[in-house]
A and B are shown apart, each in its own frame.
Chain A
Amino acid sequence: MSERILMCGNEALAEAAIIAGCDAYFGYPITPQNEITAYMSKRMPEEGRVFVQSESELAAINMVFGASATGKRTMTSSSSPGISLMQEGISYLAGAELPSVIVNVMRGGPGLGNIAPSQGDYFQATRGGGHGDYRTIALGPSTVQELVDCMPLAFDLADQYRIPVVVLADGILGQMMEPIVFNKKPRRSLPPKDWALTGAKGREQNIVRSLWLPEGSLEKHNYKLQAKYQQVQKNEVLCEQYEVDDAEIIVIAYGVAARIVRSAVKKARQEGIKAGWIRPITLWPFPTMQIAKAADELSIFLVVEMSMGQMVEDVKLAVAGKVPVVFYGRAGGGVPSVDQVLEKIKQLTIPVKKQ
């Protein structure tokens, strides 16, 4: 199992989901994630599991809703426009507390946009996306290997917290091939799904719902959800950092943008600039504490995204005005180059040195 194999992100994440015990996949084709749907159509039946090509993303997310309610591990995948169509269902999943995994291989938007890579759906993924007071866990892997590793994590988190988990990839990560290893890790110890709809044989009926009509009952439910979200925030933050201790500037990026930042920071160090980086892996819960702590020590943050500036808002919230937060981004399929980021780092640090 520990042999390196070359796979594109879309197929690799699909196989990782199968290894993680995904019982059912439902999806509707959209570029740049079609390889997931095609791969699942072949592999799920081979494993005796369920694959359905739905008539729309609206149907797909509701098929997930149904399968999840019966206690199965289930997922769907799509790209930006399709994820928008799923927002209704995601809100219902959150309200009914149904575990589920939703992969978004982001493309350029708004509207039909284009099929090029993008990170334009950060707000949608981390703010809930649909209506109502809720959160979804959002994971932002930056390599195909990490995409593979985050699938079992996504299913475990979903089951542990009874929450929808969004995996935010993008066109590059979905399409590119990299050598990967499928590490089979044991599942977390998870609570039993005694709430699942399995037929009320010899027990009282189970009800899965998101409607709370009696006065005060929804508010109570909202408090319950919030308490759960706080647990997630307390226990599940993942982020990676590099050379932040002596840094004058820290560059923050996630996903594919973080790969570019990594190289730019390395070059900056070679040129004698004290640069470091922080890479959020969980986008929600966001590594607020880690960034806040770094903000006590240094003079400036640079946030790099393949969007017009979305995660930068979370960074600003974390930094709370202590030091400047500068943004650099490209959108609509534009991808920042290492040199562009390096240039930005230089612009921001040279004046600091002169002081």
Chain B
Amino acid sequence: MQNTKQNSYEEIIVAGFGGQGIMLAGRLLAQTAMKAGKEVTYMPSYGAEVRGGTANCMVIIADEPIASPLVDKPDSLIVMNKASLNKFASRLKAGGLLVMNSSLIDTKPQLDDSIEIIAIPADEIAVELGNKKIANMVALGAYFQKRGILSPDTAAACLPDTIAKRYHKTLPVNTEAIHRGAEFTKDNE
């Protein structure tokens, strides 16, 4: 049931360090899933932990009402730094998908062969686009394209509802980042 458009149940963990826009990425995932008519839950790590360094959130996308919003073994893992990879990689389900920010992760993780890996230089692409902060969107773009449950276009359409109004001038560059991420996946397939 992996990697097909019919995939009706997907658990995702997005992780990185504070400031990488991890929560925003998770919320965009959730918003996009809702727009696509799916059931969805988004659960952030909260409280002191957020400031301690690593930030993560859990998103579940399904066609039926979702039980616990907590993700133990994700189908997909999007990691933006090495600490997060180390923390969560072993929890990936067999046959799962790992999207990792190769700009900040130099080594290839030792994982089960069934796991597909997209190593995307998200920071570099973001810098090329002129805004280092949008590496999260680049990674998401790669994910959308690979997984095929949600489309990059729907995600882009959800940006205005996800990004705070005072940052709306960054909508175009965020949109571009999602598409660049998606193209990267296509080019490497």
Question: Which A residues contact B (CB, under 8 angstroms)?
Answer: 4, 6, 31-32, 115, 143, 171-172, 175-179, 256, 259-260, 262-264, 335, 337-338
Contact = CB atoms under 8 A, between A and B. Distances in A.
User: What is the interface of chain A mostly: helix, strand, loop, or mixed?
Assistant: mixed
A171 B69 CA distance: 12
A177 B42 contact: yes
A116 to B, nearest CB: 8
Contacts of A338: 67-68
B40 A260 contact: no
13 contacts: A31-B47, A115-B48, A172-B43, A176-B44, A177-B30, A178-B40, A178-B42, A178-B69, A259-B66, A259-B67, A263-B68, A335-B68, A338-B67
A176 B41 contact: yes
A6 B67 contact: no
A260 B161 CA distance: 30
Contacts of B34: 4, 6, 179
Contacts of B185: none
B68 A115 contact: no
A259 B66 CA distance: 7
Contacts of B43: 172, 175-177
B66 A32 contact: no
B55 to A, nearest CB: 13
A31 B30 CA distance: 23
B46 A115 contact: yes
Interface residues of B, number: 21
B27 A337 contact: no
B39 interface: yes
B31 interface: yes
**Most chain-A CB neighbours within 10 Å: which of B31, B42, B44, B72?**
B42
B129 interface: no
Contact of A176 (B47, B48, B67, B69): B69
A256 B40 contact: no
A256 B31 CA distance: 22
B30 A337 contact: no
Given A115-B48, A262-B67, A264-B67, 18 more contacts: A6-B27, A6-B31, A6-B42, A32-B47, A115-B47, A172-B69, A175-B44, A177-B41, A179-B40, A256-B68, A259-B67, A259-B69, A260-B68, A263-B67, A263-B68, A335-B68, A337-B70, A338-B68
Contact of A171 (B46, B65, B72): B46
A20 B41 CA distance: 25
Contact of B67 (A171, A177, A260): A260
